[in-house]
């Protein structure tokens, strides 16, 4: 998880903050459930996408009270799982 987080940060000029984690461990195909849920969230928050839908950059969303509240409701804070909220500032990367 931390390695993936660093990869995401290294490709972004803004500091990435991990706000919450949704674990998919139930059922026979948890990865499929995660993909379905991701699509649902993209549809629900399409109005907050920073870039055109279905492009590589469409993963990024503008924070809003609505989005931040929803994240807090459906996810586990990273500290609860002993994960960092921030990996590093893009300015301080080596």
Pairwise CA distance, residues 26 & 24, whole Å: 6
Q: What is the pLDDT at residue 93? A: 47
Task: Give the predicted TM-score (pTM) of the model.
Answer: 0.75
Question: What letters, b where the CB count within 10 A reaches 16 and e where it falls short, cover 23-45?
Answer: eeeeeeeeeeeeeeeeeebbeeb
pLDDT tens figures, 16-49: 888 999 999 888 888 999 999 999 999 999 999 8
Band (13; pLDDT cuts 50, 70, 90): confident
The ranges assigned to domains in the chain are 1-21+78-94, 35-75
Over residues 69-80, the mean pLDDT reads: 95
């Amino acid at each position: 998880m931390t390695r993936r987080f660093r990869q995401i940060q290294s490709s972004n000029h803004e500091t990435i903050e991990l706000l919450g984690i949704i674990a998919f461990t139930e059922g026979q195909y948890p990865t499929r459930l995660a993909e379905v849920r991701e699509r649902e969230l993209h549809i629900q928050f399409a109005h907050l996408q920073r870039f055109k839908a279905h492009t590589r950059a469409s993963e990024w969303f503008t924070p809003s009270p609505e989005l931040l509240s929803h994240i807090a409701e459906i996810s586990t804070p990273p500290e609860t799982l002993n994960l960092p909220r921030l990996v590093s500032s893009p300015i301080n990367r080596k």
